[in-house]
Amino acid sequence: MHYNREEAEVILNADGSKPIYVQISEWIETEIMNGHLESDQKVYSQYQLAEMYTINPATAAKGLNLLVDENILYKKRGLGMFVSQMAKEMIVNKRKSQTLKRLVQELVLEAHRLQISEAELMEMIKAEQSEVGNE
């Protein structure tokens, strides 16, 4: 497995807003979502991740184990960790039910604070959606 160290450094944010191990697990999820890691494909080891991100291997292992606990990855004794058959679907469901829901709640709350009407908020969302669609 090859990796680009410069690319790897960009994604970790050490400002304390989100633990490094969570960022590692989210990065692997994104790699799965983008098709860079497919079902039954071996993922990076904790030592490869530690080298890529200049972090402690235990931190990398904690990120990997989060995904094992969620059945997104599975372990093969002596061989490493691999992407589960249903990983992509599980990630989509998780992100819809947790991440997206939280973001929508924050958006609606902020719109309420700013006294933005539902119609205006919907127009803002539609405008952003069409802009993203044109990229």
Please report, for the chain, the start and end positions of each structural domain, with discontinuous segments joined by +. Answer: 5-85, 88-133
Average pLDDT over residues 38-48: 96
C-alpha to C-alpha distance for 44 and 50, rounded to whole angstroms: 10
Over range 7-15, report the average pLDDT: 58
pTM given for the model: 0.71
* Per-residue pLDDT reduced to its tens digit, 53-80: 899 999 999 999 999 999 999 999 999 9
Per-residue model confidence (pLDDT) at position 11: 63
Residue 103: burial class (beta carbons within 10 Å; 0-12, 13-18, 19+): exposed
Q: Does domain 5-85 have CATH number 1.10.10.10?
A: yes
